[in-house]
């Protein structure tokens, strides 16, 4: 949707209220008090009222917009712009595009949307063949701290990120050649490179029946409790040369993507990763990305599938 189309479809706050009301009705409203799904719409208050216990739910309650005083139209404009590009914006660029006067407001709003993307993706586990590796990305450090930092692998100027890619091997029936195709990715900021950290992530984010591929690091020598099958690089035979292909592609794309933000603080890094993966996982969605982001935003806590 272009800005011109946005202005035509949602010229005022009333049109945005109507849009979000319809979207929430479609996704279902759950009463916080009695868990009933049956509600009336109170036109004068712009609220839903539970048919059973009369508890009222505001249009923003239970969504990513809860506790926000911003007009719905500002949220909808941000969702439109954020979903219009395959790459993320810097907050400054989003502020410019929105024509909003306050950077802080846009910063908070954008990070809320990124959290919603992360919540949405956290509902799925990776299956089949999963590549797992760790990457280092530059992070912002205060100039006073910079002098004291050590150099080397896992340097304190860098943040560590666990990267997972769900892939499957495709075999060309005529030539017999094998390649990998990939579906979904996950990226999680990690505090350290300890085996326990990797084990916890693999247990939580990857289906137990999956085949997990890693490099030969000793970090991964005890994965049998987390996963049924673990193969490390070179230990598989024919497919060996394809090991970790997709995590490495994703890591180099991530590093290139993060450059546009100049410096990302460690605190906010997970949110950037959320948006990067969310869009990567929906790379073929095209214009549907907007609808999906609206759904992720209005029901980020309720969804279990879909």
Residue 67: CB minimum distance to Zn ion, A: 21
Q: Binding to Zn ion by residue 37, rule CB under 5 A? A: no
Are the CB atoms for 227 and 202 separated by under 8 Å? yes
Residue 305: CB minimum distance to Zn ion, A: 24
Specify the DSSP class assigned to residue 265. -
Q: What distance in Å separates the CA atoms of residue 30 and residue 24, rounded to the nearest whole number?
A: 10
Q: Binding to Zn ion by residue 31, rule CB under 5 A? A: yes
Six-digit token string for 160: 């560590």
Choice from 5, 8, 28, 34 touching Zn ion (CB under 5 A):
34
Closer residue to Zn ion, CB minimum distance, 14 or 34: 34
Closer residue to Zn ion, CB minimum distance, 34 or 263: 34
Choice from 36, 46, 253, 270 touching Zn ion (CB under 5 A):
36
Closer residue to Zn ion, CB minimum distance, 55 or 124: 55
Sign of CA dihedral 12, 68, 74, 291: negative
Closer residue to Zn ion, CB minimum distance, 36 or 156: 36
Binding mask 47-76 for Zn ion (x = CB under 5 A): ---x-xx-x---------------------
Q: Across the chain, which distance is largest between two alpha carbons, in Å? A: 68
Q: Choose the stretch contacting Zn ion; rule: CB under 5 A; options: 44-52, 99-107, 163-171, 251-259.
A: 44-52
Spatial CB neighbours of 272, under 8 Å, sequence gap ≥ 6? 88, 114, 258, 261, 264
- DSSP codes, 21-86: HHHHHHH----TTT----EEEETTTTEEEETTT--EEESSTTSTTTT--S-HHHHHHHHHHHHH-S
Q: What distance in Å separates the CA atoms of residue 258 and residue 253, rounded to the nearest whole number?
A: 9
Sign of CA dihedral 43, 44, 48, 49: negative
Closer residue to Zn ion, CB minimum distance, 31 or 264: 31
Q: Choose the stretch contacting Zn ion; rule: CB under 5 A; options: 29-37, 166-174, 218-226, 292-300.
A: 29-37
Q: How many residues bind Zn ion (CB under 5 A)?
A: 8
Residue 142: CB minimum distance to Zn ion, A: 49
Q: Choose the stretch contacting Zn ion; rule: CB under 5 A; options: 43-51, 130-138, 145-153, 292-300.
A: 43-51
Are the CB atoms for 209 and 196 separated by under 8 Å? no
Q: Binding to Zn ion by residue 211, rule CB under 5 A? A: no
Specify the DSSP class assigned to residue 175. T
Closer residue to Zn ion, CB minimum distance, 37 or 196: 37
Are the CB atoms for 128 and 167 separated by under 8 Å? yes
Closer residue to Zn ion, CB minimum distance, 30 or 140: 30
Residues in contact with Zn ion by the rule CB under 5 A:
31, 33-34, 36, 50, 52-53, 55
């Amino acid at each position: 949707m272009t800005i011109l189309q946005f202005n035509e479809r949602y010229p005022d706050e009333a049109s945005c209220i109507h849009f979000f009301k319809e979207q929430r009705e479609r996704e279902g409203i759950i009463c916080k008090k009695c868990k009933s799904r049956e509600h009336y719409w109170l036109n004068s208050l712009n609220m839903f009222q539970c048919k059973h216990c009369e508890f009222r739910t505001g249009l923003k309650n239970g969504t990513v917009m809860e506790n926000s005083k911003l007009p719905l139209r500002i949220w909808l404009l941000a969702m439109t712009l954020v979903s219009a590009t395959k790459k993320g914006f810097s907050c400054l660029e989003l502020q410019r595009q929105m024509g909003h006067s306050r950077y802080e407001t846009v910063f908070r709003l954008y990070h809320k949307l990124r959290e919603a993307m992360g919540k949405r993706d956290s509902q799925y586990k990776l299956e089949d063949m999963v590549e797992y590796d760790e990457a280092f990305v530059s992070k912002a450090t205060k100039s006073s701290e910079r002098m004291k930092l050590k150099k080397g692998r896992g340097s304190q100027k860098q943040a560590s990120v666990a990267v997972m890619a769900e892939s499957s091997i495709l075999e060309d029936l005529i030539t017999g050649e094998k390649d990998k195709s990939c579906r979904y990715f996950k990226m999680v900021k990690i505090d350290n490179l300890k085996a326990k950290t990797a084990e916890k992530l693999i247990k939580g984010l990857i289906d137990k029946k999956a085949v997990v591929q890693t490099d030969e690091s000793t970090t991964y020598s005890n994965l049998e409790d987390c996963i049924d099958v673990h193969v490390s690089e070179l230990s598989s035979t024919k497919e060996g040369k394809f090991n970790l292909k997709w995590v490495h592609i994703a890591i180099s794309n991530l590093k290139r993507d993060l450059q546009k933000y100049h410096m990302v603080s460690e605190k906010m890094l997970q949110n950037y990763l959320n948006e990067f993966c969310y869009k990567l996982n929906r790379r073929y969605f095209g214009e549907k990305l907007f609808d999906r982001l609206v759904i992720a935003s209005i029901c980020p806590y309720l969804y279990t599938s879909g």
